[in-house]
Amino acid sequence: MPLNNTKEVQAMQLPIQKLRPFENHPFQVKDDDEMNQLVWSVLTQGVLTPLVVRPLENGEYEVISGHRRLHACQKAGIETVPALMYALDRDAAAIALVDSNIHREKILPSEKAFAYKLKMDAMSHQGTSRQLGEKWSVSQLSEVGTDSERQIHRYIRLTELIPQILSMVDAGKIALTPAVELSYLTEQEQQDLLETMESEDCTPSLSQAVQLKKLSQSGELTMDKIFEILREPKANQQEKISFRVEDLRKFFPKSYTPARIQERILKLLEADCRKRQRAQER
């Protein structure tokens, strides 16, 4: 139910103690520097954007949009907040919640994963899950994210990861694509993988993740196999020697391009190697 098409809206000033976070909402509310700035903002300027809420049967209200503002107000000791109340059922509210947050500039893979899962489940209850990959217009508060249907379902796969591995995805230690492959491992296999990653201080590449998935699907993935695969050298782990071009310029004509400098260095090294080999043969 699009909020901008909902006539049952009421502007209210609500007591903080009557507001409840949306049950199992996927977006994190952190006590960080940004939260401290928001607390200062509500203390000095008040709540500029009303929260969006829905009524519950017990006389309380569930927050659809504005969880960070709510937390900031609680920290600031503010007793009442402005709110827009919509008469929405749980599924319509879940869809509105996702659409009003998915556009945020900073959003973790895990937040996207559980947000899309929440919306997919809600739309499934409404019989409209086939629309998941389309550009929705559910909330008047924001534009909806532009992930494709395929990308959305890739994010949803992340909800199959154990929390410890999912947190590595959030931290950027494991990229999205290999993480999707790892999501097909059983919970025990993921636990074994986590133990191996921690003991070897490494994470799987995409090709390694694909190998792990294939062995899992064939029932052949063991702790020894996981260890063997993760010990394979990765292309980006090969040792390299690099030079800054400006450090080499004085040894070559100004007309030399970086590629020609590299070619010339290799030829000089080859000549030096042959010279030493001939010296050894004498």
| Domain match, 9 and 77 both | yes
Dist CA 103 CA 101 (whole Å): 5
The enclosing H or E element of 266 equals helix 258-281
Is there a single domain that holds both residue 134 and residue 178?
Answer: no
- Closest Cα partner for 43 from 92, 81, 91? 81
87 and 142 inside one domain: yes
Helix then strand then coil, in percent of the chain rounded to 5, is 55, 10, 35
Question: Can you tell me the distance from the alpha carbon of 74 to that of 18, in angstroms, rounded to the nearest whole number?
Answer: 12
Q: How far apart are CA 35 and CA 251, in angstroms?
A: 54
Burial of 264 (0-12, 13-18, 19+ CB in 10 A): middle
Four-residue CA torsion sign, 94, 99, 120, 169 = negative
The mean pLDDT values, 10 residues at a time, for the chain of 282 residues are: 61 91 87 89 90 91 91 91 91 88 84 90 68 39 58 92 95 94 96 93 93 95 93 63 74 80 82 78 66
* Last residue of one domain, picked from the residues 92, 120, 153: 153
Question: Do residue 34 and residue 108 come from a single domain?
Answer: yes
18 and 119 fall within a common domain: yes
Residue 172 sits in the same domain as residue 44: no
Same domain, 111 and 195: no
Q: Indicate if 194 and 276 belong to the same structural domain.
A: no
Whether the model pTM is above 0.85: no
Q: What pLDDT, on the 0 to 100 scale, is given for residue 182? A: 96
Pair (120, 43) in one structural domain: yes
135 shares a domain with 273: no
| Residue 261 CB burial class (10 angstroms; 0-12, 13-18, ≥19) | middle
Query: Looking at residue 256, what is its pLDDT?
Result: 78
Burial of 54 (0-12, 13-18, 19+ CB in 10 A): buried
Which of residues 131, 153, 175 is at a domain's end? 153
pLDDT for 180: 96
Number of domains in the chain: 3
Quote the CA–CA distance of 96 and 101 in Å, as a whole number: 9
Which residue, chain included where needed, has tokens 């796969």?
157
10 lies in the same domain as 135: yes
Residue that finishes a domain, picked among 153, 173, 188: 153
Q: Provide the CATH number for the domain around residue 39.
A: 3.90.1530.10
Q: Domain range for residue 260?
A: 245-281
87 and 206 together in one domain: no
Task: Note the pLDDT of residue 128.
Answer: 52
Burial code (b: 16+ CB inside 10 Å, e: under 16) for 181-206 equals bbbbbeeebbebbbebbeeeeebbbe
